Amino acid sequence: MNIHQLAYQVLMESDIELKLQQTIDLSFQQKDHVPILGDFPVERILIPGRPAKPDLITPKKLKHRRLNSASGRAHLLHAVAHIEFNAINLALDAVYRFQQMPADFYLDWLQIASEEAKHFQLLCQRLEKMGYYYGDLPAHNGLWEMAVKTDHDVMIRMALVPRVLEARGLDVTPGMIQRLKQVDDQETIAILNIILKEEIGHVAIGSKWFHYCCAQRNKDPIKTFQDLLIEYMGAPLRSPLHTEARLQAGFTQQELDQLLAMEK
């Protein structure tokens, strides 16, 4: 089977342990030159492989908890774990769905998938130490909903998932770490530091392939990104932005200045 078929199989796997192991295995297999040639039918996926829990609700119904309580920190960890689980599916979907990209595109997104699997495992291990399991608490499905909205165009996917939704983690994680320092939760801080460092690389990969698509279509990347923000998000990015992390992740200072000006 080619890489698109294999990615689809893992994408649709709902057993968590199998999905994690298959994701990591697939990343290693691709380094050994799993065939990329050949078309594989692509379909819209409204619900990828996921366990029956957590229950999915609208973001407005999710309760905001203070991090000065163990329960509040568990809710935070569960929310981040759910994001990471969705990010595994997003990376696999990119490999399955966008079949006319260069081979390096699939190497990049399989690397992301395996790193997201590692993040998810770390968060679940920490949750279990606190007496919780993934699925015990409700979550929302915003990340996958954007995947569905962008499933028709690789350029739009690269713009809006890694460079908007996932990049939001670059902006908010330092603040979470500071609040966790106040309650001396060093175990969670260590995990979030790993995630922050590697997510910079993930957003950078999104930026790389967004710019590749723009060059292929003779589009200005800064203007195209701004236009897509308004068309699909209905609003510019919200400040504050983690400037240093976003610069490392493929944004330019000019672009960040213009994004902040759009907000005003």
pLDDT, tens digit (0-9, with 9 covering 90-100), for 162-190: 999 999 999 999 999 999 999 999 999 99
Average pLDDT, the chain: 93
Q: Please identify, among 125, 149, 173, the residue that sits at the C-terminal boundary of a domain.
A: 149
pLDDT digits (tens, 9 = 90+) for 40-61: 889 999 999 999 999 998 887 7
Tell whether the model's pLDDT for residue 39 goes beyond 80.
Answer: no
pLDDT of 228 over the 80 cut: yes
The pTM assigned to this predicted structure is: 0.95
The arithmetic mean of pLDDT across residues 4-11, rounded, is 95
- Model confidence at 63, pLDDT cuts 50, 70, 90, reads confident
Average pLDDT estimate for 112-133: 97
Q: How far apart are CA 31 and CA 129, in angstroms?
A: 34
Cβ-based neighbour number of residue 223 at 10 Å: 11
Choosing from 89, 116, 149, the residue where a domain stops is: 149
Which pLDDT score is estimated for 59?
Answer: 81
Considering the domain architecture, whether residues 125 and 250 belong to the same structural domain is answered as no
Are both 118 and 175 inside the same structural domain?
no
**Rounded average pLDDT over 14-23:** 97
Q: Which of 97, 132, 149 is the last residue of a domain?
A: 149
The answer to whether residues 170 and 132 belong to one domain is no
Do 131 and 247 lie in one domain? The reply is: no
Are residue 33 and residue 163 in the same domain, yes or no?
Answer: no
Is the same domain home to 28 and 140? yes
Tokens, residue 54: 């957590």
- Give the pLDDT of residue 188: 96
Phi, psi of 218 (to 5 degrees): 55, 45
| Same domain? 136 vs 169 | no
Structural domain total, the chain: 2
Instruction: State yes or no: pLDDT of 32 exceeds 80.
Output: no
**Do 90 and 191 share a structural domain?**
no
Let me know whether 9 and 125 are in one domain: yes
For residue 2, what pLDDT band results from cuts at 50, 70 and 90?
Answer: confident
C-alpha 257/C-alpha 139 separation (Å) is 33
Say what the pLDDT of residue 58 is.
86
138 in the same domain as 122: yes
Are both 168 and 88 inside the same structural domain? no
**What CA–CA distance (Å, rounded) separates 182 from 190?**
14
The CA-based angle 53-56-62, given to 5 degrees, is 115
* 84-97 confidence digits (pLDDT tens): 999 999 999 999 99
Whether the pLDDT of residue 65 is over 80: the answer is no
Cα separation, 50 vs 16, in Å, equals 7
Residue 93 sits in which domain range?
1-149
Are 161 and 143 found together in one domain?
Answer: no
